[in-house]
């Protein structure tokens, strides 16, 4: 039965979106904030490979990209430090910023 077989395709179900608009968004984020670092997240069964940009204060943004090599290339082209999230994890400032953004009734 074909539906039992796992796909041999290495791409995630979501192909990574529009590369041009993702690159433009990431460039705008870097240009408008200071102390930005890039974290490359691996593809999962649900999501495509993504790049997360995190500013000095913990504010962050995420965009899907077509593949891991493309994600690293785009992140390096932004001229910011680039990390593999599997090796480094996320900085605490990202979690703290996210917690501050929640509404009081969600805490």
Cα 7 to Cα 10: distance, rounded to the nearest angstrom: 8
Contact partners, residue 19, CB within 8 Å, separation at least 6: 65, 66, 70, 74
What burial class does residue 14 get, using C-beta atoms within 10 Å of its C-beta: 0-12 exposed, 13-18 middle, 19+ buried? middle
* Alpha-carbon distance values, 5 to 11, 43, 101 (Å): 16, 20, 42
Cα 24 to Cα 49: distance, rounded to the nearest angstrom: 17
pLDDT given for residue 55 in this prediction: 97
What is the mean pLDDT, run by run of 10 residues, along the chain of 107 residues? 51 66 96 97 93 97 95 96 96 93 71
Predicted TM-score (pTM) above 0.85:
no
pLDDT given for residue 105 in this prediction: 66
């Amino acid at each position: 039965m074909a539906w039992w077989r796992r796909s041999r395709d290495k791409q995630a179900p979501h192909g990574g979106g529009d590369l041009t608009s993702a690159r433009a968004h990431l460039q705008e984020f870097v240009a408008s904030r200071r102390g930005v670092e890039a974290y490359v997240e691996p593809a999962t069964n649900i999501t495509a490979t993504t790049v997360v940009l995190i500013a000095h204060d913990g504010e962050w943004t995420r965009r899907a990209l077509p593949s891991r090599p493309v994600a690293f290339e785009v992140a390096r082209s932004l001229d910011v430090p680039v990390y593999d999230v599997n090796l480094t994890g996320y900085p605490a400032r990202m979690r703290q910023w996210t917690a501050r953004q929640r509404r009081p009734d969600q805490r």
